[in-house]
A = this chain, B = another copy of it.
Amino acid sequence: MSQNKVFIATSIDGFIADKEGGIDWLHSIPNPEGDDMGYASFMNEIDALVMGRNTFETVCSFDIDWPYSKPVFVLSNSLSDIPDKYEGKAFLVKGTLTEILDEIHSKGYDHLYIDGGSTIQNFLKEELIDTLIITQIPILLGGGISLFGELPSSQKFKCVETKHFLGSVSQSRFEKVAEL
C-alpha cells in the first residue's frame, strides 16, 4: 500500500519559518551528540522524496553534498528540466497530484516523504497525507510561514507515539484514521 509521509519541525505555534523566512531557531536547542531525532530511521521508511521547486532550490543552494540517497521527485510546472549535476538523483514531475503519484508509484516507489511547506499543504488539501511526524521546537515565533493551511474539511489522525528529545523537544507521530 502506498503511503505519503511528512517529517518536519515546527514552532509551538505551527510555523516552519519565522517572520523573515529564517530557520535558525530550528537549531536553537543544544544538541552536542548530534541526535538526529529519528531522521535516519524515518528515511529508512521511505522509498523516495517528493518536494516542490522552492524546497529543491533551497537544498541545491546549500553548500553541501547532495543529501539524499533516495530519488527526489520535484514538483514544478515552471521548471523545464533539472540541472545536469542532479541527473539520476532528482526528477521533474508535472501534473495533478494524482497524476504525479500514479507516475511515481508506477516506477515502484510507494512510501514517499512529502516535503516543503506548500507541497505538504497541497497534499493535505487533497487528503493525501497518511503520516505526520511533527517535531515541535519549544519556541513561539508569533508569525511566519505556517505548516498548516485552510482545509476543506477536518481530518482525523491517531497520535500513535510521542517522544521527548534533548530534554526539550517533543515529537509526535500521527497516523491518519480512515473515516467510516
Contacts and interface: CB of A to CB of B under 8 A. Distances in A.
A162 interface: yes
Task: Kindly report how many copies of this chain are found in the complex they form together.
Answer: 2
Interface string A156-168: 1111111110011
Given A12-B174, A143-B151, A148-B13, A158 B168 contact: yes
Interface stretch (A60-68, A90-98, A130-138): A130-138
A171 to B, nearest CB: 8
A139 B159 contact: no
Contacts of A152: 142
Given A13-B14, A154-B25, A136 B148 contact: no
Contacts of A163: 162
Interface string A162-180: 1110011110101001000
7 contacts: A11-B154, A12-B148, A13-B148, A25-B154, A138-B157, A139-B157, A162-B162
Interface of A: 11-14, 18, 25, 28, 124, 132, 134, 136, 138-143, 147-164, 167-170, 172, 174, 177
